[in-house]
Amino acid sequence: MTETTRTTVTLNKSYMKLVKDLVDVFGATRAQVITNIVEYFFNDSKNDPLLEKLRARKRKEKLPEEFELDKKIKIYLKRTDNIPFNIFLDHLKLDADFVIDHLDEWGEKYNFKLINNNIIKDKK
């Protein structure tokens, strides 16, 4: 059995009418119809670019504490000397613009450079 979480959804009347019209076609109840629509949306790979834009917006708005970010960068740079930039972004769970704005500062602080789209640790 799949673990689920209950939530309340508020839709305007026109959307609720559409949901009601789909009962018996896309689910046995309005709740099942809404669940099926949400699952269909998330499972459709055509929506991946939109979902990534939304995730990027969240990363921009919700920045980690400086202490946590410092810890993550130090730990990651301890393990490797050469990190592809996109992997570095994914690891930090940050927006590319934010990281690019801080690259000079972080490069000096953590002793690395960005070369050919890779974070390269200086060997000093």
Q: Which two tokens stand for residue 46?
A: 């055509």
Query: Count of H helices and E strands in the chain?
Result: 6, 3
- Cβ contact 94:88 at 8 Å: no
pLDDT band, very low/low/confident/very high, at 124 (cuts 50, 70, 90): low
This prediction's pTM? 0.52
Strand, helix or coil at 9? coil
Which of 59-68, 80-89, 97-106 comes out lowest in average pLDDT?
Answer: 59-68
Segments of the chain assigned E as strands? 82-84, 112-115, 118-121
Q: What is the pLDDT of residue 97?
A: 83
Strand, coil or helix: 118: strand
pLDDT band of residue 104 (cuts 50, 70, 90) is: very high
pLDDT for 38: 94
pLDDT bracket for residue 63 (50, 70, 90): low
pLDDT digits (tens, 9 = 90+) for 24-42: 999 999 999 999 999 999 9
